[in-house]
Amino acid sequence: MSAERFVDEVRGPEDLARYPPEYTKAIGKIVVSHAVNELKGAMTFDEPAIRMAPTPKYKWLVSRNTMEEFNHHILFARLAEAMGLEWKDKKPLTIFDYPMVDWPRFGAIKAVVDVAELIELDDLVASTYLPLRKVAKDTYPDEQFHVGLGREIVRTLLAEDPANRRRLQTAFDELVPPTLDFFGSSSSANNELFVRWGLKRRSNEAMRQEYFRQVREYLESAGFTMPPVPDKYREEIAR
């Protein structure tokens, strides 16, 4: 993959006409996918969890988390709309098909699934398209709060009832393998485009490896086992 970047900084949609259409197309793919997935996640995972939250403190914190996820959708959807792009007909990722069944599952989702978004944002905060860079910087602390909230819920559940360890491990086993798909295919032409245009720094493979490393470190430090790697990623994760 070429490390050469064709563009330094682009201030906004009004300047996109100065660059080849593939740059606009690449930004569009990123912002549309975020607009769709932030909305789907907020509706599937976060909003139902407000009802499941067992205490006033958690209802408050989960409400804040949910408001932020809906707001992330708005921020990315505005970027898409400013570029004249439609996001409504795009399908969300399959990770969001997993229903929110109970409170331990919500803790597990926030503790490990939102880490994937932070890893993605680690690249987008240096993006050449400044409106995207700004949204990435603005949403970053929220995602850190979401991961911290999830891990706090996990700690509390473990302290309350030892039987929660098994429930949480089951949730991690179900959630981590499909989250590896979040980063896209390792031989992705889109990814090559994102790197070439300075929208992201790393390959999908490198981001997936980093995700695996961070989640394994967290799970093992909390006394859980890292779920087995799906066959399709085994070689890549071992590298």
Residues contributing to the site for Fe ion (CB under 5 A):
38, 69, 72, 114, 143, 146
Work out how close the CB of 236 gets to Fe ion at its nearest, in angstroms, rounded to a whole number: 25
153 touches 111 (CB < 8 A): yes
Please identify, using beta-carbon distances, which residue of 114 and 120 lies nearer to Fe ion.
114
Beta-carbon-side half-sphere exposure of residue 49 (alpha carbons within 13 Å): 30
99 touches 44 (CB < 8 A): yes
Please identify, using beta-carbon distances, which residue of 146 and 208 lies nearer to Fe ion.
146
Task: Please provide the distance, in angstroms rounded to a whole number, between the alpha carbons at the two ends of the chain.
Answer: 18
DSSP code, position 8: S
31 touches 76 (CB < 8 A): yes
Beta-carbon-side half-sphere exposure of residue 10 (alpha carbons within 13 Å): 22
Work out how close the CB of 14 gets to Fe ion at its nearest, in angstroms, rounded to a whole number: 27
Work out how close the CB of 211 gets to Fe ion at its nearest, in angstroms, rounded to a whole number: 14
Cα–Cα nearest to 214, from 141, 122, 135, 142: 122
Please identify, using beta-carbon distances, which residue of 10 and 111 lies nearer to Fe ion.
111
Please identify, using beta-carbon distances, which residue of 10 and 77 lies nearer to Fe ion.
77
Work out how close the CB of 160 gets to Fe ion at its nearest, in angstroms, rounded to a whole number: 24
Please identify, using beta-carbon distances, which residue of 144 and 186 lies nearer to Fe ion.
144
Work out how close the CB of 71 gets to Fe ion at its nearest, in angstroms, rounded to a whole number: 8
What angle separates helix 164-179 from helix 130-160, to the nearest 10 degrees? 160
